Structure formats: structure tokens, C-alpha cells
Amino acid sequence: MRYSERPKKDTKRRGGFLPALLGAIIGGVVVWLLMNATLGNESNSSVLEQTTGDSNLTTERVSLDVNTDVTEIVSKVADTVVGITNMQTVRDFWSSTETTQERGTGSGVIYKKTGDKAYIVTNHHVVENAQELEITFDDGTKVDGKLIGSDVWTDLAVVEIDAEHVKTAIEFGDSDTLKRGETVIAIGNPLGLGFAGSVTMGIVSGKDRSIPIDLDQNGTVDWQADVLQTDAAINPGNSGGALINVAGQLIGINSMKITQETVEGIGLAIPINIAIPIIQDLEMTGTVNRPTMGVSLLDLRDVPYQQQQEVLKLPKDVTTGVIVTEVFRNTPAEAAGVQRYDVIVEMDGEKIEDMVNLRKHLYNKKEVGDQMTMKVYREGKLIEIEMELKDGNTF
């Protein structure tokens, strides 16, 4: 073998390259022609031509009609959510003149239309101390509102307006059937009417929450508000607005938001099942007639297990109920013999697990003057108590 001989070139491999390259070029041209032919045949596209130098640059602008379940729900109820402006008379100290000025804004929900009148539910703090109320519809129309009644304890109020501009009223849902994780939508006017009709969406984060309320800001808890917890954004101005389910039904009245630096995504709303009897009383009489026992209460689950055993002397299988922490004088509870540290576990045969259950039974199923049978644990023994309920603003 002579090492000076060069190896022969692979003529077969060289000969196959040019046809492959030519095929790729032809294929690319065909694809380009097909794409341009397809785009040219689009009848629903609007063509925007721009000329740069000697060449024409053609782009496509396609119109899309985005329609989802959420947009349909919002469109269905948007006209029922209104803005409420609280107008108050302000006196100038130096000139002694008086002017009516805006003192705050919130939201409201039209829940009823009858004859030439319509009714709006909102929060008490939205309309508090108002000399005048201005109602703003979703389309910007403004009318005067008349306060029918307001309840500081539940932070609810009812406002009456002329029905001339009212297109529809919202439908009540059932807040008792809500589930954690269920989708909800909040509609209102966060930060004032400049953000009217804002929509946020989230889930039900929790049910049957009891939030302590200090009504007179004296450092003492006056009330336990029953609320729904949601992560849908609720900000100042959303108060009184609608919390709806995916059927477009009203299941809560947005009421407040926990505003702490370490807390995010906690919005609160008054469950509609708790609000309905209050709304009805306010609409009919302007006040709320509440049956009362005359006690202050505490959920048993908030007491350490050791104290449940040593102080309350409860059986080990009793894990839910409501503790009487104080009995007020000259009340049905005192007359019936209720004592401090009695643990309420049953009312009229209905199991009572916490203050939410107790309030629902007391306010939704009983009336002033009714008799009520209550079972309590006292010193570890189960006893039965009969009492006649009277009107009042405590439990």
C-alpha cells in the first residue's frame, strides 16, 4: 500500500445535498404562499396598512368578543349596585355659614322594587349622621335617597329611592349553603365613585366568623359580628356593596376589612341570611326588634381545655357550646335563674355550638315575647331552663 494515495471522495453523499436544499427552499416558498393566501381570505379581520419607504407593511387586527360566566354575571347585576354619598352640613366657625359637603362614600345594593319605590341595603356606617344621601347608578345617573332605618349593631341600613331609574333588583341567595373555596365576586366603589362598579373575584375563605366590635371606641367589646371571610379585595368605599355567588345572587353585604400591616387578603361581609330579617325590620318599622336573654357570652372553644375541666367541670365529650360570662340585672336570664359560667349547649332542641348558632336561633327563629327552652351545663350537670324573651340590644 502506498500512503501517498489520497482517499476517494464520497460522490454519493455530495450528490444528495443539492436536491435536499432545493426541496427545502421550494417547501418554504409553498408554505409562505399558503399562509398569505389564508390570511388574505379572513373576512372578519380588519387590515391596517402602513407604508415605510418603498414597501407596504400589512398587519392584522382581529376583533375578539370575550364572554365568560363571570362577565355575564357582572353584567346581570351591575345595575343593582349603586354608589352612596353621605352629605352633611358643615358650619364655618369664622363666617358662621353652613354648607352641605360630602363626608364619605360607600356602596349599596338594590334588593327590592315595588310600585314607584325601590329599596337599597347598605352599611350603617355609610349613612351614619347623613343630612342628605345621594345615590349614583352604574350609568352615572344620580337621585336622592331617604334613610328608612339603620342598625348600628349589625352595621346595616335601608334607603328608599324613587324607582324611575331602577331597572332591576338583585336576587337573594342562601349564605348557609356556601362552602369554603366557593367562588364569590365583590362589586362596589373602592376609594370612592371614581372607581364605581369595580369588580374583584375570590373565594369563600371561611364561614361563621365572629369578629369583636367596639362600637363606641372605648376599648370594650360591645358586639360580636357574624361575618363571611373572603379573599376578594374589599377596600374603603366597598362598604355596603354586593358579594355575589356564581349564580349572580346576593350572599353577603361587604362590610369591613381587617387593616393591619401583617394581614393581607382578608375581606369580611355580613351573610345575607343574617341580614334578611334585619333588612325586613328596618324596611317595615325603621328599627330592629330583637329578642334578648340579657347575658354576655364566650365561645367554649376559646377557653383552654384545662379550664373547661377544672373551672367549668364539663364532661370530656362536651367540646362545643357557649359560656355565659355575665348575667345582667332585670333581664329574662336573671328572672329564669341563669348563672355565670353556665354553658349553653341547646335551645329549643337545636344544638348550639357557638355564638353564631345561638344568634341565628335567637334572631331568626324567635320573637319578642316568645318562650324558650335552654339546656346548660352547670357544675358538670345538664339542666333545663325556661325563659320569656324580651326586647333588647344584647344576647
Which of 132, 137, 85, 130 minimizes the C-alpha distance to 110? 137
pLDDT band at 118 (very low <50, low <70, confident <90, very high): very high
The pLDDT of 226-237, averaged and rounded, is 87
Q: Mark whether 125 is an active-site residue.
A: yes
All CATH 2.30.42.10 domain ranges in the chain, comma separated: 291-391
Q: Mark whether 239 is an active-site residue.
A: yes
DSSP 155-166: TEEEEEEEGGG-
Q: Mark whether 150 is an active-site residue.
A: no
The pLDDT of 365-385, averaged and rounded, is 95
User: pTM of this prediction?
Assistant: 0.69
pLDDT the model gives residue 197: 80
Domain 291-391 has CATH 2.102.10.10: no
304 Cβ neighbours under 8 A, 6+ residues apart: none
189 Cβ neighbours under 8 A, 6+ residues apart: 83, 105, 106, 107, 195, 196, 197, 198, 237, 238, 241
CA angle 18, 19, 24 (to 5 degrees): 100
Identify whether the C-beta of residue 249 lies closer than 8 Å to the C-beta of residue 187.
no
Catalytic residue among 155, 281, 299, 342: 155
pLDDT in tens, 59-104: 566 554 555 688 889 999 999 999 999 998 877 666 667 777 888 8
pLDDT in tens, 232-246: 988 778 889 999 999
pLDDT band at 13 (very low <50, low <70, confident <90, very high): very low
Catalytic residue among 150, 205, 239, 255: 239
Residue 385 has pLDDT above 90, yes or no: yes
Catalytic residue among 124, 125, 175, 226: 125
Supply the DSSP symbol for 7.
P
d(CA 241, CA 267): 12
pLDDT in tens, 239-281: 899 999 999 999 999 986 554 444 566 889 999 999 999 999 9
Ranking 23-37, 224-238, 372-386 by mean pLDDT, the lowest is 23-37
Domain 66-288 has CATH 1.20.120.1460: no
All CATH 2.40.10.120 domain ranges in the chain, comma separated: 66-288
Here the cell at position 150 is 339603620
